[in-house]
Amino acid sequence: MKLSVVIPTIGRPELARAVRSALVQTTPVHEVIVAADTTDDLTLPEDDRVRVVRVGPGAGGNAGRQRGIREATGDLIGLLDDDDEWAPTKVAVLTRLASETAGPWIATSRVRMKRMNGSELIQPAFPIRPGEDLRAYMFAKRSPRSGHGFVQASTLVFPRELALEVPFDENLKFHQDVSWLTSVASAHPDLTVLQSWESLASYYATEGSVSKRIAPEGSVAWARRFLADQPRLLGDFILTQSLGFARRSGSVGSMIRTALAGIRFGRPGPAAIVYAIGATAKQTLQSKGK
């Protein structure tokens, strides 16, 4: 199986590091396609496998991903964000998992999240259950104190044909990765999720992250569009993840409005409801203490 690496970029200085991590895999990659959402010159390692295609500027990450997928000549795609990096064995591990799999599939792994304060966190905290729907894994709140399943873009490997059949939505500016995963899971109820419990990628949490600029209203609108046929997941998503964006603003009123939207538009489970009440109460106390 030939694997094409697709790296959408806005020209971050970490791009060369990301490309190098793809080039030094123990199982060599077929090619590295850098989808540049910028007109700036790029500094890249010299390797015949590296080529640049241009999108935008300002087209967005999904436009870069889909352009790279269309241009790819491998039968597998590995996604890598321009400020992340792969462990040297990532391709070997995930392609070995995929080698005996029939039907539609995606492969993923745990990821090492590196924070700006120097601390690290390996996610997800728990694996997907055999036969579990990917959407339920990512969005259902299992208990008030537990998180969600986590599938990060730079961990993903999948057949190129899958992304041609179910393309990345080029109009989305946030929730891009989970939108595609949600669409794939919806289109393929028999989807197999191959998950390595090794940490095979590193994700750098930076202040410029798109997720830090998402408005709760936009997140709620996304959930109503992509999870309309899954009321439990719709409610759980709004009462946890959309609520998180409201909480970042420090506004208790925004948190209450977001929580009410989750109850109005979805059917959240008890764990999500308890979590939302606790998070809103904590923010209320913090606001009063200022």
Cis check for the bond before 159: say yes or no (omega within 30 of 0): no
Q: Which two tokens stand for residue 136?
A: 């339920």
Positive/negative CA dihedral, 219, 224, 228, 233: positive
What distance in Å separates the CA atoms of residue 154 and residue 82, rounded to the nearest whole number?
9
pLDDT of 268: 97
pLDDT of 146: 81
pLDDT of 207: 57
Whole-model pTM? Answer: 0.93
Long-range contacts of 125-129, Cβ-Cβ distance < 8 Å, separation of 24 or more: 125/150, 127/195, 127/197, 128/193, 128/195
The tens place of each residue's pLDDT in the chain, 290 residues long, gives 899 999 999 999 999 999 999 999 999 999 999 999 999 999 999 999 999 999 988 899 999 999 999 999 999 999 999 999 999 999 999 999 999 898 999 999 999 998 878 889 999 999 999 999 999 999 999 998 888 899 999 999 999 999 999 999 999 988 999 999 999 999 999 999 999 999 999 998 765 555 557 899 999 999 999 999 999 999 999 999 999 999 998 899 999 999 999 999 999 999 999 999 999 999 999 887 76
| Integer CA distances (angstroms), 5 to 76, 123, 180, 237, 265, in order | 8, 22, 17, 30, 39
Residues 6+ apart with CB under 8 A from 203: 81, 84, 111, 112, 113, 114, 152, 154
pLDDT of 211: 55
pLDDT of 209: 53
Query: Of 188, 170, 221, nearest to 59 (Cα)?
Result: 170
pLDDT of 16: 97
pLDDT of 114: 87
